[in-house]
Structure 1
Amino acid sequence: MGDRITSVRLGHYAVPLAHAVSDAKVATGRQRPLTQIDVLTCEIGTDDGLTGLGFSYTTRAGCRAQFAHAKEIADNLLGEDPSDIGRLYERLLWAGASVGRSGAATQAIASADTALWDVKARRAGLPLAKLMGAHRDAVRVYNTSGGYLQAPIEEVKERAARSLAGGIGGIKIKVGQPDMKEDLRRLAAVREHIGEDTPLMVDANQQWDRPSALRFGRAVEELGLVWIEEPLDAYDAEGHAQLAAALDTPIATGEMLAGVPDLVRLIDLRAVGFLQPDVPRVGGVTPYLKVAALADHAHLQVAPHFVMEIHVHLAAAYPRDSWVEHIEWLSPLFEERLEIDGGRMRVPDRPGLGLTLSERRHEWLLDDARFGTAE
């Protein structure tokens, strides 16, 4: 008989940001400034003494729903072989089938699925990237957290320079304000400050209609951007396809899509140059790998969204050299830090994800639940 799952422990944490941040959704009145990240953690223990860690997250709302769903289905893992990840994924899906296969339901499963992959890699004594079959030991990295709209342009420029001096390879800034001229002014200032050879991206956070996005794209062609991110509503696959066909600058999107079929539609329509799946949002490592295989078949670049702590492994295992997004907001939740040098983020050499929860986590704990021997 193989190893068996003996315990499942869930936690809901609210990790505060050092400073509130605002993107175009705030500038257009659709959301309030972001002040914290809510995180759902899942720790899975086994007979063999292994413990795997996975997590999901939300911004502003939804983590209580994830936590509640995870509590309802977690005991389906007890007594099962943790190596049977595909079968257990299906088991958890069917346990909550009445609420569907996307959104909060699968994002709750994502924490357990990622923990199971962590167990498997720890058992092998390998980093997750190596277990999957790494193509490289380090991946390209760009910074987003310094480019939000609440910051004056001089601060954005200063933080961009600091990021580059610290080994970051590219800079992304937020656009999508009601006044497009202000976006263009800020963008030109950053391009001049960091130089024409530094990779530069922009992110409009879904705030344009199709004509506005086209006008912006044509206005910035000469700046040599790596991509224009989320120019349209996340679910407007046809609009993104039209935009991608009309512009030389690649389109990037996909981070908000919470189900495999929606991401596959972007691939099928050739709507992106850079696909941006998010492991917690799409439902875990298992569905992410399905999307990544299809993206590679379509010869697309992949730039997974946020959670660099997970995505550094998946980007390293993708055949095409990927970008990983550097946002340090979750760093206080973990003891370890990722190494960055020469424009690249190194894959940790520790087994699994290479993460352990920090002692400080208790400051931010809102709720927890234990099943099996963890009770």
Structure 2
Amino acid sequence: MPPSTADAIPAAFQAGEATLDRISWIRLSSVTLPLATPISDAKVLTGRQRPMTEVAFLFAEIGTEDGHEGIGFGYSKRAGGPGQFAHAKEIAPVLIGEDPSDIGKIWTKLVWAGASVGRSGLSTQAIAAIDVALWDLKAKRANLPLAKLLGAHRDSVRCYNTSGGFLHTPIEQVLENADASLARGIGGIKIKVGQPDSSLDLKRLEAVREHVGDEVPLMVDANQQWDRPTAQRIGRALERFGLVWIEEPLDAYDAEGHAALARSLDTPIATGEMLTSVAEHWELIRLDAADVIQPDAPRIGGITQFLKLAALADHRHLQLAPHFAMEIHLHLAAAYPHEPWVEHFEWLEPLFNERLEIRDGRMHLSGRPGLGFTLSDQARAWTVDQAEFGDRP
């Protein structure tokens, strides 16, 4: 007699008495969020990318036999959204019947379901939405905000605004945006640099620093547009502005170049947002290539992978400033041992019914369980594709 399917599964992977609930339903949604104004940073001005007009989101909603539900999301800018949705559709069926609390096991199972396309990039970004939903579900089951489930070190996190300082924005409007951010209670201001004519960057930065004063935390972001000599030269010129950091001065994968720059400049170097795995970030950490590490949970595979990376960063006493997706990263930053930063973008607000509280330069955790967000009717209206698996309780 041939062995049964259950007999063929190693005992270590078979469910036991500790499995109290199972995943019974998954819904994946591809949502396209239009931006009110085309967005340009240095990558556009150097001809490497076109202006950004929309952001594609992959939402995962997961339900269990006992009626618990969680929601998570990932995203892609300019390209990749349909690909993330397509890959998630292929691998999502393996979730049915799994214990939703076994998040690490599920992450590995999803990776193996799509092993031929690797363990970074689009494939694990598709997994990220599912992973985030499982963590949201787990925290909701415990009736805790996600940060409290993870073990928060603080109930609020320093925050800075990025959306008001893009290069398509005239400097007069940048200054007005800075005033509005500070009036709203946001603590710091970041502006984009990296133009082909660096003297224009310096003029914009001089105007912002003079306008907001020396006490306001100020950052700049070159979006990978300098080569090593240019980054060294401009980095020295930027020292006088007392910046919190210089972000992505070099190509995201030039870890050795970032390390040399970090050694030679007084201003801290920040990078990491474009990397798509823990392994890629480890190269930065190993080479002391960043004073401030900027992982993006949706880009590296979700919260499960982010926690691994955070442990490595903590071991080296690095500063942490997660990229974008403040709705997720507020919780993860609150659980980091060293005082972090969170990036403020208001772009995602139409997708959710709830809002984050910002005051006194900090973003505050709410008492809502999980991530603390529910999808808005507008998010449903912007849905361009959807797939469901299993049966909703």
What's the TM-score bracket when you normalise by the shorter of the two chains? over 0.9
Structure 2 match to 1:67? 85
Matched AA of 2:295:
P
Structure 1 match to 2:39? 21
User: Secondary structure of the equivalent of 2:374?
Assistant: coil
CA distance in 2: counterparts of 1:3 and 1:66, whole angstroms: 28
Structure 2 match to 1:166? 184
CA distance in 2: counterparts of 1:23 and 1:225, whole angstroms: 19
Q: Does 1:153 align with 2:197?
A: no
Q: Does 1:85 align with 2:99?
A: no
Q: Do the aligned residues in 2 keep the contact of 1:9 with 1:374 (CA within 8 Å)?
A: no
Q: 1:178 aligns with which of 187, 196, 202?
A: 196
User: Secondary structure of the equivalent of 1:20?
Assistant: strand
CA distance in 2: counterparts of 1:68 and 1:349, whole angstroms: 35
User: Secondary structure of the equivalent of 1:147?
Assistant: coil
Q: 1:340 aligns with which of 355, 358, 364?
A: 358
In the TM superposition, residue 361 of structure 1 has moved relative to its aligned partner by 1.4
Matched AA of 1:156:
V
Structure 2 match to 1:292? 310
CA distance in 2: counterparts of 1:204 and 1:312, whole angstroms: 24
Structure 2 match to 1:2? 20
Q: 2:48 aligns with which of 17, 24, 30?
A: 30
User: Secondary structure of the equivalent of 1:232?
Assistant: coil
Q: For 1:211-250, list aligned pairs within 5 A.
A: 211-250=229-268
Q: Does 1:370 align with 2:371?
A: no
In the TM superposition, residue 362 of structure 1 has moved relative to its aligned partner by 2.5
Q: 2:61 aligns with which of 43, 46, 70?
A: 43
Matched AA of 1:64:
P
In the TM superposition, residue 259 of structure 1 has moved relative to its aligned partner by 1.1
Q: Do the aligned residues in 2 keep the contact of 1:208 with 1:232 (CA within 8 Å)?
A: yes
Q: Percent identity?
A: 66
Q: What is the alpha-carbon root mean square deviation over aligned residues? A: 0.8
Q: Give 5+ residue unaligned stretches, structure 1.
A: none
Structure 2 match to 1:205? 223
Q: Does 1:264 align with 2:276?
A: no
In the TM superposition, residue 278 of structure 1 has moved relative to its aligned partner by 0.1
Q: How many residues align?
A: 375
CA distance in 2: counterparts of 1:372 and 1:180, whole angstroms: 55
In the TM superposition, residue 20 of structure 1 has moved relative to its aligned partner by 1.3
CA distance in 2: counterparts of 1:174 and 1:348, whole angstroms: 30
Matched AA of 2:92:
A
TM-score by length of 2: 0.95
Structure 1 match to 2:295? 277
Structure 1 match to 2:13? none
Q: Do the aligned residues in 2 keep the contact of 1:146 with 1:156 (CA within 8 Å)?
A: yes
CA distance in 2: counterparts of 1:24 and 1:348, whole angstroms: 35
In the TM superposition, residue 47 of structure 1 has moved relative to its aligned partner by 1.2
Q: 1:54 aligns with which of 61, 72, 79?
A: 72
Structure 2 match to 1:315? 333
1:217-268 per-position Cα deviation (integer Å, ceiling 9, x unaligned): 1001011000000000000000000000000000000000001111011001
Q: Does 1:109 align with 2:127?
A: yes
User: Secondary structure of the equivalent of 1:48?
Assistant: coil
User: Secondary structure of the equivalent of 2:327?
Assistant: helix
In the TM superposition, residue 176 of structure 1 has moved relative to its aligned partner by 0.2
1:58-111 per-position Cα deviation (integer Å, ceiling 9, x unaligned): 000001111000000001100110000011011001000010000000000000
TM-score by length of 1: 0.99
